[in-house]
Amino acid sequence: MSKKVMAGFLVVMFVCALSGCATESGYDPARSTGAGALGGAAVGAALGSIIGAATGSASTGAWVGAAAGGLVGGVGGFLYAQHQNNQIRNAQMAQQTYGYSPGRGNIVAVEQTAVSPSRVRPGDQVKLDVTYTLLTPENQTSTATIIREVTTGGRQVVQPYQVTATNPNGTYSDTAMLTLPKEAPRGSYMVVTKVMTDRAMDQRSASFTVE
């Protein structure tokens, strides 16, 4: 069996076996320090490694793995994409805003979260925003994990979306787009956004309505 045929076979096998269990994530590499990490991304990474070995090309494995992760995510219904993480206050500005001194230790503060538009229809796309601040003694670099959980009626409707961003002290805006499936149940939805490091954590929630 040729390497290309073997790679194609692996894609079909993984998608058929795992469809419906993951979502896709993406990011703007020019402006983001983190990338999405969900079931679809994990499957894509594993598949990419296998295909890379089969084809003898790591770059081919990475490309096909990303595509496979997206395909599996699409079958799952809810689709995340276009993740961005941007600094909006530098370390000095963030310290002044919070009256921060090194003696206060490590701080993670979620300042606000928002979902726009607030009223959508099944199949529409919503923008999920969070603004958060990282403060550490001696301006240490922190790796923040950002988790978004979407529920309706107290029931989780999509796997938690998780990204990791490594940044120095400052305030950051993190954005992800969520496309709802056409069969999304109508009603009120809650998005809980958590930002955590290995030393601190904070969270806030926002809501939107599917009509």
| Domain spans, the chain | 3-25+35-75, 79-210
pLDDT digits (tens, 9 = 90+) for 119-177: 999 999 999 999 999 999 988 899 999 999 999 998 888 888 888 999 999 999 999 99
pLDDT category, 46, cuts 50, 70, 90? very low
**pLDDT category of residue 94 using cuts at 50, 70 and 90:** very high
CB-based contacts of 61-66 (< 8 A; 24+ apart in sequence): 64/7, 64/11
d(CA 160, CA 176): 12
Answer yes or no: are the C-beta atoms of 205 and 193 closer than 8 Å: yes
Q: How high is the pLDDT of residue 146?
A: 94
pLDDT reported for residue 154: 87
CA distance to 24, 68, 78, 144, 159, per residue, from 175 (Å)? 15, 23, 16, 14, 17
| Ordered strands of the 125-135 beta sheet | 79-89, 170-179, 125-135, 107-116
Number of Cβ within 10 Å of residue 49's Cβ equals 14
Proportion of the chain in helix, strand, coil states, percent, rounded to 5: 30, 40, 25
Contact 10, 50 (CB under 8 A): yes
Say what angle helices 3-18 and 58-75 make with each other, to 10 degrees: 30
Bigger pLDDT: 130 vs 34: 130
| Separation CA 192–CA 150 (nearest Å) | 7
Superfamily of domain 79-210: Immunoglobulins (2.60.40.10)
Query: CA nearest 73: which of 45, 38, 46?
Result: 38
Which of 142, 134, 138 has the alpha carbon at shortest distance from 101?
Answer: 138
Residue 162 is encoded by which pair of tokens? 């998780």
